[in-house]
Amino acid sequence: MANVVIIGTQWGDEGKGKVVDLLTQKADCIVRFQGGNNAGHTLVVNGRKYIFHLIPSGILHPGKVCMIGNGVVLDPAVLIQEMDRLRDCGMPVTPERLVISRYTHVIMPYHRALDLAREGRKGAHRIGTTGRGIGPCYEDKVCRGGIRMHDLLHRKALREKLKRNLEEKNFLLERFFGEKPLDAASIEEEYLAYGERLSPYLDNVSMRLQDADRKGCNLLFEGAQGTHLDIDHGTYPFVTSSNTVAGNACCGAGIGPTRIHTVLGVVKAYTTRVGGGPFPSELKDETGEAMRERGGEFGATTGRPRRCGWLDMAVVNTSVRLNGLSGLIVTKLDVLTGIPSLKICVAYKCGNERIQAIPPELEAIEACEPICEEFPGWENDISRVRRFSDLPGNTVRYLKAVEELAGVPLYVVSVGPGREETIVLRHPFE
């Protein structure tokens, strides 16, 4: 029995979805604990591509229980769409397969409207959010005005909360942002219908996890976004609105820290970022362009091109610290095939100082210059390799350098988007 947390070590899109799908083979419950449909997790199974924004990436394995924890912000229309799409593919999502916390906060139409209005007003200073209402929903949670999933089951209570919220949100939308106000009655009907549809799935996720844990089940916690998009530890303000680090698996699902045994960080073999914010190892040249094209680096949620650059071990090492990583899972190694000379940023030069962690302050990051080491590339197609010992010597050298610089062992290497395009060195559930 083991309970494992998977998180992204960079700025998201590291391949967490693929990794969670792979590890689900030996897990019993798969739990999302933060974020919402700002996430886009892509799985390729038997040549077919699935993108999930809310449903945990374990859903394609029959017989496994997927859970959405209290720390998630949930847009019911998006969840229902994902459920319907799976049903149409012959994989109905029953209440035996999906459990939603009664205490998960609901993304309301005014959250989306405010997210877009705020970004629009910021102009050049915008964060580049996904526009899904994530930030405004978490704001309401913290200011104690939020609507939670169980509120959608009670007309009177929902009406009162909506009335109170809309008074304030419509004032902002109309008077401050110059946008159209929203209508309480139509929102009430729409969200009550969502409540009715989703009520069989609502439960106490924390209690369900305790039961599963006591029965000796393997629990797998699926992070969204990446460590450097964390609201506290990321490149603030160019971050998302939740804690993306492993510690939040406990708060966002309702499980204690002593119940977590392994934390694995997913590391893309290079670095990408969507939206604004600092990115010291960014490549604005043809190598960055080649990474984007070959890696298909276009957002799974918004379709925006992802910014690309060399692997930055100052970024990864900071993630080792913030998440207490037990080990690494390196993905998209195949994308580097054919680049004659590879670079890894091993530290930053900051004035006369050499630092090995990314500082959280924007001003300090701006003063950092990447110090890179060069590694010879490889030409051979590695996407068919399934054993570490069959990798080309230069690929092994690259991976060994990553392992050594991070100071934690390699568990898995991914050499293609497909579930089977994987080399497993250590399995966290064995």
Number of chain residues interacting with ligand GDP (CB under 6 A): 23
Active site residue 151: no
Q: Residue 18: which of Mg ion, ligand IMO, ligand GDP, none does it interact with, CB under 5 to 8 A by kind? A: ligand GDP
- Closest CB to Mg ion among 10 and 248? 10
Stretch that binds ligand GDP, among 33-41, 114-122, 233-241, 346-354 (CB under 6 A): 33-41
Exposure string over 193-218, b if 16+ CB within 10 A, otherwise e: ebbeebeebbeebbebbeebbeeebb
Is residue 17 close enough to count as binding ligand GDP by CB under 6 A?
yes
Q: CB 300 → Mg ion: shortest distance, Å?
A: 5
Q: How far is CA 264 from CA 4, 23, 31, 325, 326, in A?
A: 7, 11, 15, 6, 6
Q: How far is CA 407 from CA 16, 118, 330, 356, 371, in A?
A: 21, 41, 14, 13, 18
Is residue 14 close enough to count as binding ligand GDP by CB under 6 A?
yes
Using DSSP's 3-state secondary structure scheme, residue 162 falls into: helix
Q: CB 330 → ligand GDP: shortest distance, Å?
A: 8
DSSP letters along 350-383, please? ETTEEESS--SSHHHHHTEEEEEEEEE---S--T
Residue with tokens 């109170």: 164
> How far is it, in rounded angstroms, from Cα 41 to Cα 112?
21
Give backbone dihedrals phi and psi of 306, rounded to 5 degrees, phi first. -85, 140
Which of 21, 41, 53, 75 is the catalytic position? 41
**8 Å CB contact between 2 and 220:** no
Q: CB 13 → ligand GDP: shortest distance, Å?
A: 4
Q: Residue 38: which of ligand GDP, ligand IMO, Mg ion, none does it interact with, CB under 5 to 8 A by kind? A: ligand IMO
Q: CB 426 → ligand GDP: shortest distance, Å?
A: 17
Site residues (CB under 6 A) for ligand GDP, limited to 357-416: 414-416
**Across-strand partners of 350?**
353, 368
Using DSSP's 3-state secondary structure scheme, residue 169 falls into: helix
- Closest CB to Mg ion among 49 and 155? 49
Residue with tokens 């064995």: 430
Q: At what angle do helices 109-122 and 134-142 cross, to 10 degrees?
A: 110
Number of C-beta neighbours around residue 120 at 10 A: 13
Pattern 258-297, binding to ligand IMO, x per CB under 6 A? ----------------xx----------------------
Q: Residue 53: which of ligand GDP, Mg ion, ligand IMO, none does it interact with, CB under 5 to 8 A by kind? A: none
- Closest CB to ligand GDP among 146 and 416? 416
Is residue 53 close enough to count as binding ligand GDP by CB under 6 A?
no
Active site residue 41: yes
Which of 13, 28, 75, 213 is the catalytic position? 13
Pattern 287-316, binding to ligand GDP, x per CB under 6 A? ---------x---x----------------
Q: Tell me how far the alpha carbon of residue 80 is from its chain's centroid.
A: 20
Site residues (CB under 6 A) for ligand IMO, limited to 10-69: 12-13, 38-41
**8 Å CB contact between 13 and 291:** no
Q: CB 414 → ligand GDP: shortest distance, Å?
A: 3
Stretch that binds ligand GDP, among 8-16, 172-180, 207-215, 256-264 (CB under 6 A): 8-16
Of 160, 181, 195, residue with least CA distance to 77 = 195
Q: Tell me how far the alpha carbon of residue 137 is from its chain's centroid.
A: 17
Of 408, 413, 407, residue with least CA distance to 425 = 413
Which residues here bind Mg ion, judged by CB under 5 A?
Answer: 13, 40, 300
Is residue 18 close enough to count as binding ligand GDP by CB under 6 A?
yes
- Closest CB to ligand IMO among 119 and 334? 119
Q: Tell me how far the alpha carbon of residue 354 is from its chain's centroid.
A: 30
Cβ neighbors of 121 (< 8 A, separation 6 or more) are 177
The footprint of ligand GDP (CB under 6 A) covers 8, 12-18, 39-42, 44, 296, 300, 331-332, 334-335, 414-417
The footprint of ligand IMO (CB under 6 A) covers 8, 12-13, 38-41, 127-130, 132, 134-135, 224-226, 229, 240-241, 274-275
Active site residue ranges: 13, 41
